[in-house]
């Protein structure tokens, strides 16, 4: 089965890692649907794809507020236009950091809803087509903190840790139908937040990383591109760590 005969769906694709993943998959020959939480973000995705001459579109999707039936209606609509969904990259996520004793239940629930429950909903929708077609790539964006933990992020680490368990369990459920399920766990990546660090803060951060640099969204996108490719067809249930050696297991 040629995975490029349908489309790839990338959540949280309007900036950062998600945008790099969208560009990588488009460059690899996929039609791409990228989601953003605002109409403006969805329009930017569509314009980006158009500038590069790539098929696809943007989709305004607030994972924390959109019910499963609305998600499914949209996915089926995209399948009418672009063919079956072949690749799903669950990249969108939020963080609401605080120490546990100060964290309220809203912060706990909001992160679990977007970073884990919404992944379950959207993946289940896309699976129906993948099972029928007997081909699919599901790639979940986790985090190094799912493995190492991090103070002030019990909600985020719990959600991303749950995502790793989901990845391994689902891989066992659907492997016989030609569907692989893997996770990518980025470490410290160049973002607007890390670019705002002063030189001393940045030095302390990079001192923790054997490669002595922060990763880039392109570093992460390269791993996603590999997992979505035919060359990764015998890899499933794995977590690919992209952290410069900061955490090894």
pLDDT per position as a tens digit, 192-205? 767 777 888 889 88
Set 156, 158, 228, 244: catalytic member:
156
Q: Is the pTM of this model over 0.85?
A: yes
Mean pLDDT calculated for residue range 170-188: 97
Look at residue 193 in the predicted model and tell me its pLDDT.
65
Look at residue 192 in the predicted model and tell me its pLDDT.
73
| Structural contact between residues 206 and 37, judged by C-beta atoms closer than 8 angstroms | no
Look at residue 3 in the predicted model and tell me its pLDDT.
46
Residue ranges per domain, the chain? 3-242
pLDDT per position as a tens digit, 119-154? 999 999 999 999 999 999 999 999 999 999 999 999
Helix (H, G, I), strand (E, B) or coil at 34: strand
Architecture of the domain delimited by 3-242: 3-Layer(aba) Sandwich (3.40)
The alpha carbon of 206 is separated from its chain's Cα centroid by a whole number of angstroms, namely: 24
- For 175-230, what is the HEC assignment? HHHCEEEEEEEECCECCHHHHCCCHHHHHHHHHCCCCCCCECHHHHHHHHHHHCCH
Strands 56-60 and 179-186: unpaired
Give 157's contacts (C-beta < 8 A, 6+ positions apart). Answer: 143, 145, 146, 149, 150
- What CA–CA distance (Å, rounded) separates 71 from 88? 13
156 classed as catalytic: yes
Residue 241 has pLDDT above 70, yes or no: yes
């Amino acid at each position: 089965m040629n995975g490029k005969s349908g489309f790839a769906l990338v959540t949280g694709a309007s900036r950062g890692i998600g945008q790099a993943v969208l560009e990588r998959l488009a460059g690899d020959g996929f039609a791409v649907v990228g989601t953003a939480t605002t109409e403006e973000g969805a329009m930017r995705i569509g314009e980006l794809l158009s500038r590069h001459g790539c098929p696809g579109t943007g989709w305004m999707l607030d994972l924390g507020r959109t019910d499963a039936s609305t998600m499914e209606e949209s996915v089926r609509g995209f399948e009418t236009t672009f063919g079956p969904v072949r690749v799903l990259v669950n990249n969108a996520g939020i963080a609401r950091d605080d120490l546990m004793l100060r964290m309220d239940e809203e912060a706990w629930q909001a992160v679990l809803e977007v970073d884990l429950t919404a992944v379950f909903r959207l993946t289940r929708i896309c699976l129906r087509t993948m099972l029928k077609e007997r081909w699919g790539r599901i790639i979940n964006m986790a985090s190094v903190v799912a493995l190492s933990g991090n103070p002030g992020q019990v909600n985020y680490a719990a959600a991303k840790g749950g995502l790793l368990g989901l990845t391994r369990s689902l891989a066992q459920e659907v492997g016989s139908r030609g569907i692989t399920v893997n996770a990518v766990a980025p470490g410290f990546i160049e973002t607007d937040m890390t670019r705002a660090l002063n030189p001393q803060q940045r030095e302390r951060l990079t001192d923790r990383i054997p490669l002595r640099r922060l990763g880039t969204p392109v570093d992460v996108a390269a791993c996603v591109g590999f997992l979505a490719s035919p060359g990764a067809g015998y890899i499933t249930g794995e977590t690919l760590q992209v952290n410069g050696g900061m955490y090894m297991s």
